[in-house]
Amino acid sequence: MVKSTNRILLVLCLGLGLTHCTPTKDSQGLKELSDYPIGTAINLKSTLSDSKKLNLTVKEFSSITAENNMKMFRILPQENEYNWDATDAVVAFAAENQMRLFGHALVWHSGTPKWVNDRIAADSLWAQNFLNEYINTVVSKYQGKVAGWDVVNEPMETQGGKLRSTAWLNALGPDYIAQAFHAAHTADPNATLFLNDFNLERDPLKLEGFLDLVEQLLNNNVPISGIGFQMHYRMDIPDSLILKSLEKAAAKGLKIHLSEVDLIFNTHDDSQAGGVQSYENFTPEMAQAQAAKYKNLVALYHKAVPKAQRYGITFWGFNDRDTWIKPFFKIKDWPTLFDEQLNPKEAYWGFKEGLEENMN
């Protein structure tokens, strides 16, 4: 039996042949159904230029993550030329709308500008000093305004349990990770600091290596306070495997953030343009299956993660028009809660039901 009044309204609308049903002004947003933040990644310029998208962002979500504007290549594109305009705008938007702002990401191999990679390769001492200086500059500037940070993003290889070979690892060894956490904690002792990666829910070897790294950091008194599951996951990933992965991570006692959630039907090899187009059209049956999977995700999060450790669920964009999945993997897919016209899909109502059924 469907509990959500909004879902009942959607079914009625569809039955009448109306295709533009949306959550009503007085209906509860996703953020009102959860005691932990429900977030979305945003491109601020795109959001501000579309009133419907802007209204949905503010209505539905209590937390935002900047897609790119808080990454190193945007903040420091050239040496000694910090660019704060876009980041300041994101900070102001979050404050104005009383939303939690999550910082993504301080150290990421793909977000490191070329000039930094070149200097790192030439001078390891410079790399060490720069890492401290950059993190201190950024985190201290937004102390008290950014609630938490992905301090190191994607430290593991795409598959398996080894550290990713990056300019940072090659110059400084594995200690670059601990150094980054210490620098962030010194700059803002109250910020929640995360290690974040993808495929943790579906690659047991990668998860094992990742959690071994977390354990080493904890044993060495490194101030890590959270684990980020990006959760760019697929319809064919068994819920039982997701549950087991979340339980293993939660056992470390840290905050657990589902940090970049979307859910696809097609497959890919995790590389740019590496998509495999198995589904050409989005059918009603697929919509229902996706809704059930999103609903189950909430239940899995609640079952695996104790209440005190739930940092929140953040979607990596909430509509199929703006999803990164299609341009990056060069496939057609439907991974989010809203369609390309910004209307709620069955996925939205499924996720909402999951929140309603797991409110306590």
* Catalytically annotated residues: 154, 260
User: Which residues, 6+ apart, have CB-to-CB distance to 194 below 8 Å?
Assistant: 148, 149, 150, 151, 224, 225, 226, 227, 228, 255, 257, 259, 311
For residue 272, CA distances in Å to 156, 236, 267, 276, 329 come to 17, 21, 12, 12, 5
Query: Cβ neighbours of residue 331 under 8 Å, at least 6 residues apart?
Result: 266, 268, 275, 276, 277, 325
Could you tell me the end-to-end alpha-carbon distance of the chain, in angstroms, rounded to an integer? 20
* Tokens representing residue 90 in the block: 């994101």
